[in-house]
Chains A and B, each alone.
Chain A
Amino acid sequence: MMFKKIICGILILTFTSIIGVSAWAEERHAIPDGEILVIYSDGADKAAMQSVYDIVELLTYQSFKVSFVSASDSVGELDRFSYIICYQLENYPAELLEELKTLEQKTLEDKPIQDSGVNRYNILFMGNQCIRDYLDLTNHMDYQLNNIRTGKLTYNFTDLLSKESLVEENYFLFLKSSLDYTSGKIEVGNEEGYYCSSYGCITHIPVSDLSDKLVKAAFIREVAKWKWPYKGDPHTYAQYIVLNQVYPFQDPDKLLEIVEYLVDKKEPFVISVMPIYSNGNYPAMKQFCEVLKYAQANGGTIIMHSPINQMTTFDKDVINKYIKIALQIYMSQGVYPVALQVPHNWIFNNDTIEVMRHFSTIFTTDEVDVLVDETSIFNTNEIYKDGHKWVSAAVKLDDTNVSYTKVSSTAVYLDITESTKQLKDVINICQASNVPLKSLWDVDHSFWTEEDVLNYKNHIMMLNNKRIDTKFVPVNYDKNFKYNRNMLKRFSKDLSSENHKLIIAVVIVSLIFLSFIFIARSRNRHKFFIKNDSKDD
């Protein structure tokens, strides 16, 4: 009897452990597939997580499918990814290093692939703690430690163009062996190290603070090179001059002046217009759109900013409705926005991703939509699958806002409320930059709303299957335009000017009243005092 019980117990234990193991295995496969895996520390703080999001965003602009997980969750999964970024790893399980070691060994053993210059696995360490532990474990490479916390980063974007910045880490580690590749320079005390170095399948970037603009710009460039499987530099992408967030009520003469300057210089440019939802037929709007049409016919392209989100709970249907209205207003005036401009954190939210899905080309800005939750998508850059053409804001390394990187498309945003001279200076710097300028007319675009479909392909624009001609035709203004404002609206609009009339009326009435008071007082005095006195006399 006892024997039977023991057998049953063993069977139950075996059964439950099989179920448990298969469930665990299922969970382990929850990390989505991707070209690049970003691993961060267990229990990473908010700042570290923000940097992880920044990395994912930058890689998205370079059209990479990215997965990102904590160190513990990545164990056992590393061999599924050819490119692994270990970002600022400080807390992680020991098995992770063993696994990385295995990947490195496999890469070394994989002779044929290595000879072709392509590694089977590529591991990028950002920060110093993890690589130090890894080198201590593998013991196959020397390194140099420096306990000074601050260093000076010098990074060359071209032979003639370098930028400097102060960087900070808990300590600095530099590889000492004969390295395959180094770039940039970090001076720490009297010693000098690199910004990025490679040896075999291991790449190391000692600085990890992406809030530093130069660190970020250098990372964009180095990660593109790291991911580039061939010799030489990755593809060159262009920068776009964007007259940013232009409102219909801004000075059209100034806008026209800048547009004419760009047209004269034969430089392509983009105008980002703000969406409007009513009064699209007003003369002021026609005048504004006339400038846009002139720009559109002379090398300029129009894009539209997304509606400003003021909803605490984002409603994609409402946003889509307003986008549809705004686009129809512009298109009814002969202006055809070809892309949508959004705050950069929109790429991490399911609802905003759905809104962006209506457009093939997306411009992102440095704005943050604080009402949008960035954490609704976990572990991957979900938006990758929508195949957008991305144009991100150029990393601002100086006052000009000009882009220094060309591994993805960038936008140089110009604020047209700045002085004309300042705007012209930036345009001239862009023109002289090593990053080429490009016209959006040379790229295909499309968007769809509930009522409209626009396709721009091979320089032909089709709106709802009808070909659109963007040739400039001057507008005939209706001098006797009827605004159809009702009395209340008109009155409220004119209340400020009515106030002036009211002030004049009040001053006149006050003067009349004061004179009345003076007359009455004078008469009373005469009646009640002077008259009585004379009688008494």
Chain B
Amino acid sequence: MSIADYLSLYAIVAIWGLMFINIFLSIGGFIYILKVNKTDGRIPLKEYPMVSIMVPAHNESIVIRKTVLALLEFDYPLDRYEIIVINDNSTDNSAEVLKELQARNPHRKLVVINTDNVIGGKGKSNALNIALSVASGSVIAIYDADNTPASDALAILVENLMSDDKLGAVIGKFRTRNRNASILTRFVNIETLAYQCMNQAGRYFFFKLCTIPGTNFVIRRSIIDKMGGWDTKALSEDTEISFRLYRMGYYIKFMPLAVTWEQEPQLLKQWFKQRTRWAKGNIYVLIKNFKYAFDKKAGSMRLDVFYYALVYILMLTSLICSDSIFVLGILGLCHVTLGGFSTLLWGMAVLLFILNILITLSVEKNEFSFQSAMLIIVMLFTYSKLWVAVVVNAAISSIQDKVYHKDMVWDKTERFDETSNHKSKKN
């Protein structure tokens, strides 16, 4: 067997292994979502806890008004929640927008913290820590500045959190608000449903494992205090906090009926920047927590560490191997002699990929269509390949940061004005 044969064999085993893990999770996720969809997700409480909704915002004037208005509309006892917007070292007119909103809602508890570049401007984790210092709630809710949550989202999340003392956090589902803005946002929409929603549901269904997505979730204040706040070095503060929470003996629940709509990057450059940041963050968290994969005391979190390791190491290397062999094969520079290594294998993998994603679309309203099926095929050969570039870029960047002792920089995603559909740069 040649080197190409060994690499092909590795790629086949890795890709099909990960494929079946995803199929397994999709089956669990599907059953869980059907089960949840039979209910309204509500578990009424005798007394609702005080909730501090924290919204970190850096140059978000385009979207912040819509977000705050949606938060003000929550179907939750008005005196039992506060909104804390951290206007983090913004150079746009966010401060004026927020001031105006405060003026228009004098009876609501809307706190705006404007920071400068001395105490602010150091990323999302730092902003959240600042907000935490003024928060009065026993439950913390986090929303990104570009979110438009459904009015019942907060109530569903909090009621579920209060239903079990072992629950550390409850996460909701997020959808793409600007789905039809570009082909890229259509891909992001499909990806979000398949790999954020269905995957989370599957992991929760089988293992009671979830990863906090960064927005639309509630967490107990006491846990955050015990943790000493957010890790300011982590770019993926959501993944990082999830791992810490599991190590403390709590678990996270996925509640897909609590929905928020968020704006996704419309241009490839912004998307690439955002995903690189996520990948770098996840690599940091993975490296930091990999030791727990072999620690029995870490409980079910070990599975999550393995899952991330599989995705970032196995999938990345196998895709690089298979794509390289494919390209070199076309150029006639390498030849695979493995028996049974045929286009049939490849065709079956494509079929399962499409069906797997179609399932996730089928449970959503207005998502399942022939057009979507076609988009999935296009996505497989375009969008999915970009993931490899993102992770490689993130890995190189992480190594450079380590070698040159650079601090992690939270690179904010640029927002778009959805009404005029023009990009507005505020930096």
Q: Mark A486-528, 1 if CB is under 8 A from B, else 0.
A: 0011011101111100110110011011101101110110011
List residues of chain B with CB under 8 Å of any chain A CB. Answer: 1, 5-6, 9, 12-13, 16, 20, 23, 26-27, 30, 34, 37, 338-342, 344-345, 348, 351-352, 355-356, 358-359, 362-363, 365, 368
Is B355 a contact partner of A514 (Cβ separation < 8 A)?
yes
Dominant secondary structure at the A interface: helix
Is B1 a contact partner of A489 (Cβ separation < 8 A)?
yes
Is A492 a contact partner of B359 (Cβ separation < 8 A)?
no
**Do A499 and B340 contact each other (CB < 8 Å), given the known contacts A509-B352, A513-B355?**
yes
Q: Name the one of B1, B27, B37, B348 contacting A503, with C-beta atoms under 8 angstroms.
A: B348
CA distance A528 to B345 in the complex (A): 39
Residue of A nearest to B367 (CB): A524
Nearest chain B CB to A462's CB is how many angstroms away?
40
Is B340 a contact partner of A510 (Cβ separation < 8 A)?
no
CA distance A496 to B16 in the complex (A): 15
**Do A496 and B356 contact each other (CB < 8 Å), given the known contacts A502-B16, A506-B348, A519-B34?**
no
Is B351 a contact partner of A496 (Cβ separation < 8 A)?
no
Residue of B nearest to A489 (CB): B1
Nearest chain A CB to B358's CB is how many angstroms away?
6
Instruction: Give the one of B339, B342, B368 with max A CB within 10 A.
Output: B339
**Residues of chain B within 8 A of A510, CB atoms compared:** 351-352, 355
Is A493 a contact partner of B365 (Cβ separation < 8 A)?
no
**Residues of chain B within 8 A of A503, CB atoms compared:** 344, 348
**Do A495 and B341 contact each other (CB < 8 Å), given the known contacts A488-B6, A513-B355, A517-B359?**
yes
Interface size band for A: 20 to 34
Is B348 a contact partner of A502 (Cβ separation < 8 A)?
yes
List residues of chain A with CB under 8 Å of any chain B CB. Answer: 488-489, 491-493, 495-499, 502-503, 505-506, 509-510, 512-514, 516-517, 519-521, 523-524, 527-528
Residue of B nearest to A491 (CB): B9
**Residues of chain A within 8 A of B6, CB atoms compared:** 488
Q: Name the one of A495, A505, A509, A516 contacting B30, with C-beta atoms under 8 angstroms.
A: A516
Is A520 a contact partner of B362 (Cβ separation < 8 A)?
yes
What are the nearest 8 A-B pairs in CB distance? A495-B340, A496-B340, A520-B362, A513-B355, A517-B362, A506-B348, A520-B363, A499-B340
Q: Name the one of B1, B345, B362 contacting A516, with C-beta atoms under 8 angstroms.
A: B362
Nearest chain A CB to B338's CB is how many angstroms away?
5
CA distance A450 to B356 in the complex (A): 62
Residue of A nearest to B360 (CB): A520
Q: Name the one of A488, A492, A517 contacting B339, with C-beta atoms under 8 angstroms.
A: A492
Is B339 a contact partner of A496 (Cβ separation < 8 A)?
yes
CA distance A505 to B352 in the complex (A): 11
**Do A524 and B340 contact each other (CB < 8 Å), given the known contacts A492-B5, A506-B352?**
no
Q: Name the one of A492, A505, A509, A523 contacting B338, with C-beta atoms under 8 angstroms.
A: A492
**Residues of chain B within 8 A of A509, CB atoms compared:** 23, 352, 355
**Residues of chain B within 8 A of A488, CB atoms compared:** 1, 6, 9
CA distance A516 to B201 in the complex (A): 15
CA distance A489 to B345 in the complex (A): 19
**Residues of chain B within 8 A of A514, CB atoms compared:** 355
CA distance A493 to B348 in the complex (A): 20
Nearest chain B CB to A182's CB is how many angstroms away?
60
**Do A495 and B352 contact each other (CB < 8 Å), given the known contacts A503-B344, A516-B362?**
no
Is A492 a contact partner of B1 (Cβ separation < 8 A)?
yes
